[in-house]
Structure 1
Amino acid sequence: LIKWFSNFREFYYIQMEKFARNALMEGVVD
Structure 2
Amino acid sequence: MNHKHWISVVLNETLSDNEVMKLIENSFSLT
Q: What's the C-alpha RMSD, in Å, of the aligned pairs?
A: 1.4
Mark the structure with the bigger radius of gyration: 1
Deviation at 1:7, TM superposition (A): 0.2
How many residues matched?
Answer: 17
Identical columns (%): 0
Give TM-score, length-normalised by structure 1: 0.51
Name stretches of at least 5 consecutive residues in structure 1 with no aligned partner: 19-30
Determine which structure has greater relative contact order: mean sequence separation of CA pairs < 8 Å that are 6+ residues apart, divided by chain length.
Answer: 2
Name stretches of at least 5 consecutive residues in structure 2 with no aligned partner: 1-14
Q: List 4+ stretches of structure 1 deviating above 3 A.
A: none
Give TM-score, length-normalised by structure 2: 0.49
